[in-house]
A = this chain, B = another copy of it.
């Protein structure tokens, strides 16, 4: 077996013992919030509490956006054919790619390019933004994470940046993100405000996450949404109906505000 031995730094188990990154799971349960636990799993260390709350907010921001997103549409299709919940989730997750959810990773790549440029050439951040935007334009690329089909202003963006600010995480990546927004306005003559993907990208860059892990947050966040939507399809709709994107009518709870804390 020796030649097949492989190392792992995530979880240690022994009879009566389960440790995630060294901490007993029963200590984590009830004392650590989900965002912090995910951070621990992915990074190896617990974050400060405000960072953990910020990660939770990132996850909460992308839980669901209605039945028309391809991931949700796909989960409902599978449910409609009689698939079990896990297959609905799998079918949904397979739709989280470059053009759905993937803007987080692509935006992070651009932000990192900008900050690196700024450092390497000792130029102001605004200069680096202009340079990189110019190059994207020359290559006929679009910077991902700006503009939204539905939302003139994405309500999640401002909130996420406010929470990042509270957590002391608004550094150069968030600044670069805002400069790209104004740069695009100048370049294109129209507003393409930072959307939730762009905001998440900036925040995860501030937190130091690998670009290769960025889409993971959208996947983790969206799974409960896929489950709620697939389960509703099973409960409320007949099987094998035509599922038309955009044909839904909302009949849930009336608009309401969170109770004061």
Contact = CB atoms under 8 A, between A and B. Distances in A.
Interface of A: 1, 4-35, 37-38, 41-42, 44-46, 53-54, 56-57, 59-61, 63-68, 70-71, 73-74, 77-78, 80-91, 93-100, 102, 150-156, 158-160, 162-163, 166, 210, 212-213, 215-216, 219-220, 223-225, 227-229, 231-232, 234, 236-237, 239-258, 261
B67 A8 contact: yes
Nearest to A100: B81
Contact of A60 (B25, B160, B166, B236): B25
Contact of A252 (B9, B95, B231): B9
Contacts of A220: 223-224, 227
A245 B243 contact: yes
B82 A99 contact: yes
Given A22-B253, A85-B219, A163-B30, A95 B70 contact: no
Given A10-B225, A77-B77, 19 more contacts: A1-B1, A5-B249, A6-B249, A8-B249, A9-B232, A10-B64, A11-B250, A23-B256, A25-B61, A26-B155, A34-B34, A34-B56, A34-B59, A77-B95, A83-B97, A86-B97, A86-B219, A99-B239, A212-B231
Contacts of A210: 231
B13 A150 contact: yes
Report, nearest first, the 3 A-B pairs whose CB atoms are least far apart: A9-B252, A22-B253, A34-B34
- Give the number of copies in the complex: 4
B213 A231 contact: yes
Contacts of A61: 25, 29
Contact of A65 (B11, B65, B80, B256): B11
Given A64-B10, A77-B74, A93-B86, A25 B155 contact: yes
A249 to B, nearest CB: 5
A150 B15 contact: yes
A101 to B, nearest CB: 8
29 contacts: A4-B242, A8-B67, A8-B236, A8-B252, A10-B66, A11-B225, A11-B252, A12-B66, A15-B150, A15-B151, A16-B155, A18-B65, A20-B64, A21-B252, A21-B253, A29-B160, A30-B162, A32-B60, A34-B35, A41-B228, A71-B81, A80-B99, A81-B100, A82-B98, A83-B94, A85-B219, A212-B231, A216-B227, A223-B223
